[in-house]
Copies of this chain bind each other. A is one copy, B any other.
Amino acid sequence: MGPPVSASTLVERLAGMMGSRVTLARAVLNQHGQSEAYHACLPPDVVVFPESTQEVVETVKLCASLHIPIIPFGAGTSLEGNTSAVAGGVSIDFARMNRVLAVDASDMDVVVQPGITRKQLNAQLRGTGLFFPIDPGADASIGGMTSTRASGTMAVRYGTMKDNVMALEVVLADGRLIRTGKRARKSAAGYDLTRLFVGAEGTLGVITEVTLKLHPVPQAISAAVCSFDHLHDAVDTAIAVIQSAIPVARVELLDDVMMRGINAYAKLAYREAPTLFFEFHGSDAGVVEQAEAAQAIAADHGGGGFEWARAPEDRSRLWRARDDTLYAGLGLRPGSRALITDVCVPISRLAECLTATRRDADESGMIAPIVGHVGDGNFHMLILIDPSQPAEIARAKALHGRMVARAIAMDGTSTGEHGIGLGKIGYLVDELGEAVEVMRGIKSVLDPHGLMNPGKIFGGGQV
């Protein structure tokens, strides 16, 4: 942060605009510097709660004039320190910009403010026959999901945020307001700025409106669960399901360690073996056809106890177990925190990557459950650590580093859906080499003074 005179000027002017929606309270600052993962708390100097795009524009202009960093903040559920204030500055919390601005049922789209969470959005869509399918597990904000290019369990059927954001309103580093696209389903008009800001983690501008595609609520939904003796059989089943063009809505893999955590956490009695959770969307006849086809494939790969759940309450129970993996995982070692990481590899390499990672984790002596969106080749590992033990953190980081290196060596990516944040900076150049210089060039043009969420993606962060 700049010299004290600027700081007091800043707070004074912010308060002049937003009154009590500007806070210096320590607890609030700390909450905004914290993440759900193991990263150290790096609090901002001020948190503001704007209620309009205009207030965001004015905040950004003020920060630009005083050379003060800006960190957009949604629900605080990111996992790579994506909202940590490495150089202090102003955290713009979008909690009060969480309205649905327009739903168009005919066009199957919606315009929202960035602070709305995905569950809030789906609650408001009830009765329209439409829903927003992207589900990263946490009840993340749409702005945050946009900025980290989130995906989650249903990406295999409905795509990621990259595929479901149609247009954005963005405040640039100098306070200019742009709109990246119209409401047409597709466009070939100039550079794809929408996709440039999706996944930019707030380092190129502050998102103030998001236009999203919606999808028809399927006529029928069914779910199924199926366990395997070996991890690779579960993976091979998932791959075969995808390749046979079954339009599966979700196919999640939970390894034996994760199943143990879930049984303990949710008081369930699933077999503690590698397990696939399926969900099928379609017509009444369609979901039966899909589930039968998947069951036949699972049986070919030694899958046992294929258990269907067509009633909503059975499905909910099943998926609640899946959604609670973070807390279920932490329950395997009470008092621990988790280094949560994800990689994504071509699915032909997934069994090999998963098996080697499972073995590596076991040999390292860490408790590290694995859960994967295996239809995409994407999986997560939660490495449980005692944050007071530096040696343990170092061992966890080394295990993590080997997992990422393994994925990159298999033509995969260092992060399938969490973003680079602070946690993956060291791996970005390993993955993309000279292309990172192009990213830096774009950053330098859009944020010449390095004030937009400094320190993320590229490191550094001194302003």
Q: Does A54 contact B (CB under 8 A)?
A: no
Task: List residues of chain B with CB within 8 A of the CB of A286.
Answer: 286, 289
Interfacial chain B residues near A279, Cβ < 8 Å:
none
Question: What residues on B are CB-neighbors of A244 within 8 Å?
Answer: 216
A239 at the interface (CB under 8 A from B): yes
- A108 touching B243 by the CB < 8 A rule? yes
A416's partner among B184, B344, B407, B442 (CB-CB below 8 A) is: B184
Within 8 A of B (CB), among A141-184: 148-151, 155, 159-160, 162-163, 172, 176-184
Tell me, rounded to whole Å, the shortest Cβ–Cβ distance linking A375 to chain B: 8
Does A387 count as interface, using CB distance less than 8 angstroms?
Answer: no
CB proximity of A290 to chain B, nearest CB, Å: 9
A347 contacts B188, C-beta separation under 8 Å: no
Closest to A425 in B: B190
Q: Which listed segment binds B: A17-25, A115-123, A326-334, A428-436? A: A428-436
With A104-B346, A163-B159 as known contacts, state yes or no: A434 contacts B177, CB within 8 Å.
yes
A286 CB to nearest chain B CB (Å): 7
Query: A420 is contacted by which of B179, B188, B215 (Cβ under 8 Å)?
Result: B188
Q: Annotate A399-414 by CB proximity to B: 1 below 8 A, 0 otherwise.
A: 0000000011001111
Separation of A432 and B180 alpha carbons in the complex (Å) = 7
Whether, in the assembled complex, A378 has its beta carbon less than 8 Å from a beta carbon of chain B, the answer is yes
> Knowing A184-B413, A185-B344, A192-B196 touch, does A178 contact B376 (C-beta < 8 A)?
no
Contact in complex: B438, A195 (CB < 8 Å): no
Which of B184, B243, B436 is in CB contact (< 8 Å) with A412?
Answer: B184
Contact A185 B377 (CB under 8 A): yes
A256 part of interface (Cβ distance < 8 Å): no
Question: A289 touches which one: B106, B218, B285, B416 (CB < 8 A)?
Answer: B285
Q: A416 to B185: give the CA distance in the assembly, Å.
A: 8
Contact check: which of B196, B218, B344, B412 meets A191 at CB < 8 Å? B196
A187 contacts chain B at the CB level, 8 A cutoff: yes
Q: Which residue of B lies closest to A293 (CB)?
A: B283
Assess the B445–A190 pair: CB atoms within 8 A.
no
Which listed residue (B177, B195, B435, B445) contacts A195, Cβ 8 A? B195
Contacts of A427 in B (CB 8 A): 189
Instruction: Point out the residues of chain B lying under 8 angstroms from A432, CB to CB.
Output: 178-181, 189-190
Q: Which B residue's beta carbon lies closest to that of A286? A: B286
Chain B's closest residue to A177 (CB) is: B434
Q: Are the CB atoms of B243 and A188 closer together than 8 Å?
A: no
Is A107's CB within 8 Å of the partner chain B?
yes
Q: A254-286: contact bitstring with B at CB < 8 Å (1 yes, 0 no)?
A: 000000000000000000000000000001011
CA gap between A268 and B177 in the complex, in Å: 53
Interface residues in A284-326 (C-beta closer than 8 Å to B)? 285-286, 289
- Decide if B186 touches A348 in the complex (CB within 8 Å): no
Among residues of B, the one whose C-beta sits closest to the C-beta of A205 is B438
A188 touches B415 (CB 8 A): yes
Query: Does any Cβ of B come within 8 Å of A206's Cβ?
Result: no
Residue from B186, B190, B434, B445 in contact with A344 in the complex, judged by beta carbons closer than 8 Å = B186
Given A104-B346, A434-B177, A446-B438, do A192 and B182 touch, yes or no (CB 8 Å)? no
Contacts A106-B347, A108-B243, A245-B216 given; indicate if A435 touches B179 (C-beta within 8 A): yes
A348 surroundings in chain B (CB, below 8 A)? 104, 106-107
Closest 6 CB pairs of A and B: A195-B195, A106-B348, A187-B413, A216-B245, A184-B344, A183-B411
